[in-house]
Amino acid sequence: MNQLTVTPTALLFAVALVLIALIISWRQKIGLEKDLIIGVVRAVIQLTVVGYVLTYIIKVNRAGLTLLMVAIIIFNAAWNAKGRANGIPHAFLISLLAITVATSTTIVLLVLARAIAFMPSQIVPISGMIASNAMVAIGLAYRSLNSQFRDKRQGLLERLALGATLHQTAIDVVREAIRTGMSPTVDSAKTVGLVSLPGMMSGLIFAGVDPTKAIMYQIMVTFMLMAATSIGSTIAVYLAYPQFFNPDMQLRN
């Protein structure tokens, strides 16, 4: 293994990098100083806590504890996705269901295929990766639903007036929202390796793993994220679009 230790002194120097960002924000009147500071403080605290928690979970290596950690990750992801729903009713429960199904089916398939082992050091990071990608996909899908229901309102009203069911009324909107949710994953799959060396692969190479082995993992991750984001955005969009209508099959304001 390579020598992989960032010393506290090295981190202190990294603070200088934050200062550069702060100075730019301040000089250019971008107004992000407060967010930057909050972001830095949160990142330090959250990552420190997670570091210790993961160390503990990996050390005790209990299935129950591993699953609890996965549940917490999913819960947080759902909470975040809800924040991007901009008032869609039941967005938290919808996101929770979508992310749970997306994460668990993908994980179960990976474990069954023996691509990963059911041990905390593999299950927890992979779940985090899946859940966060599903969260981003669902957040984008929600945004797409909101903007389409606003921009295409008159056309949707016309369809309802012609006697269409909710599904017949919204099908184009639904498809577009799912597509929007999946597009970052599909786009990044197209450029993976050419533009970016994704986190998983970079991490493995960094840790001294042979790049040809690292890419095997990355290929797996790419496939798994495609599955997870399509499952997640499809479930979320199908549960969310009816929320834009009232029980009398009219569009809500």
Partner 1 sequence: MAEPIFVLDDVGVVLGGKTLLTGISFSVDPGEYVTISGPSGSGKSTLLRVLATLLTPTSGTVTFAGRLQSTYEKTAYRRRVSYCYQQPSLFGDTVRDNLTFPFHIRHEHATDAQLTAALATMQLSAEMLDKPIIELSGGEKQRVALARNLLFTPQVLLLDEVTTGLDADTKTTVHRVIEDYHRRGTTVIAVTHDEGEIAVAHRLLTIEAGRLAVTAA
**Which residues in this chain contact partner 1 in the complex, by CB under 8 A?**
152, 154-165, 168, 172, 248-250, 253
**Is-contact 182 137, C-beta < 8 A?**
yes
**What is the closest distance, in whole angstroms, from the C-beta atom of residue 151 to partner 1 in the complex?**
11
**What is the closest distance, in whole angstroms, from the C-beta atom of residue 139 to partner 1 in the complex?**
27
Q: Which residue, 244, 228, 214, 253, is CA-closest to 98? A: 228
- Nearer CB in complex with partner 1: 53/179: 179
Rg for the chain, CA atoms, rounded: 21
- Nearer CB in complex with partner 1: 27/150: 150
**What is the closest distance, in whole angstroms, from the C-beta atom of residue 84 to partner 1 in the complex?**
27
**Is-contact 138 132, C-beta < 8 A?**
no
174: left (phi over 0), alpha (psi -120 to 50) or beta: alpha
**What is the closest distance, in whole angstroms, from the C-beta atom of residue 242 to partner 1 in the complex?**
14
**What is the closest distance, in whole angstroms, from the C-beta atom of residue 157 to partner 1 in the complex?**
7
E-state strands within the chain: none
Around Cβ 203, how many Cβ atoms within 10 Å?
Answer: 14
- Nearer CB in complex with partner 1: 148/218: 148
Distance of CA 68 to the CA centre of its chain: 19
- Nearer CB in complex with partner 1: 174/200: 174
Distance CA(164)–CA(170), nearest Å, equals 9
- Nearer CB in complex with partner 1: 145/156: 156
